Each structure stands twice: as C-alpha cells, then as structure tokens.
Amino acid sequence: MCLFCKIVAGEIPSTKVYEDDTILAFRDIAPMAPTHILVIPKVHIPSVDGITAENSAVVAHIFETIPLIAAQEHLVSGYRVVSNCGQDAGQTVPHLHFHILGGKELTTQMA
Ligand code: 5GP
Ligand code: ZN
C-alpha cells in the first residue's frame, strides 16, 4: 500500500482538514507555505498521468472542493494549486495529490 493509501486507511496519522466518501485533505508534513494542504482521492491513482475518463469524476470533485477548503482556511487573497507528475516534476509520493499553497505572497517562479 502506498503512503497516502495508508493515510486514507488511518494506518499513518494525518492532520485532516476535509474528508468525505471519496476524497481527503490533510496538512503537508513539511509545509512550504503558511498553509500547505494536500488533497487526494481515496482511490489509488498514481499521478496526473493516471487520470482517465473512468476515474476523472473524483478529480472534478477535488476541484469543486478546493475552493471550499480555501475558504475554510481563510485564503482570501489567493492560493496556488500544484500537482507534480513524475520524475522531472519531483513527484515523491506515487498517489495523485494536489498541493494547496497559500497564506503568503507566493513566488512567481513556477519552474
Ligand atoms: P510531491 O513531492 O510528491 O509532489 O508531494 C508529496 C508531499 O507529501 C510532500 O510535500 C511531502 O512533504 C508530503 N508528505 C510526505 N510524507 C508525508 C506524510 O507522511 N504525511 C504528510 N502529511 N505529508 C507527507
Ligand atoms: Zn495510494
């Protein structure tokens, strides 16, 4: 089982900020901004490369929920959503996740 599947299963603790039947959001263990949250599908999808017509409903649900999480976290002046896919992007956990970064003015350097 991958690290984030273990978090979904409750085998590894996390600080949850949102959860429903199909997705989970929790605080990143090594935050890169004052607010740094990871939003994941509960089902194991390895990365953005693994999104298909069959499983993309959960991705849509994640993006419908991100604004609610951002509001809950008072990210009133904006935030960034990032997903690292594969080696060149530095993906370290092979379970699809979207970073929500905010709480400060973020650098404009994206790559
Ligand atoms: P990636 O580098 O794959 O885009 O993002 C993986 C993220 O998962 C990193 O920002 C890293 O800090 C975070 N992370 C790794 N292990 C854990 C963990 O056990 N708990 C939590 N909450 N975050 C983790
Ligand atoms: Zn997984």
Q: Quick one: tokens of 16?
A: 């949850």
Does this model's pTM top 0.95? yes
Beta-sheet pairing, 23-27 with 79-82: unpaired
Residue to substitute in 47, 84, 93, 110 for testing ligand 1 pocket (most ligand atoms within 8 angstroms of CB): 93
41-69 pLDDT, tens digit each: 999 999 999 999 999 999 999 999 999 99
For residue 91, the ligand 1 atom closest to its alpha carbon is 3
CA of 77 to the centre of ligand 2 (A): 32
User: Does the active-site annotation cover 95?
Assistant: no
Say what the pLDDT of residue 2 is: 98
CA of 14, closest atom in ligand 1? 22
Give the start-end residues of each E strand in 1-111.
Answer: 16-19, 23-27, 35-41, 79-82, 98-102
85 phi-psi bin (left φ>0, alpha ψ -120 to 50, beta other):
beta
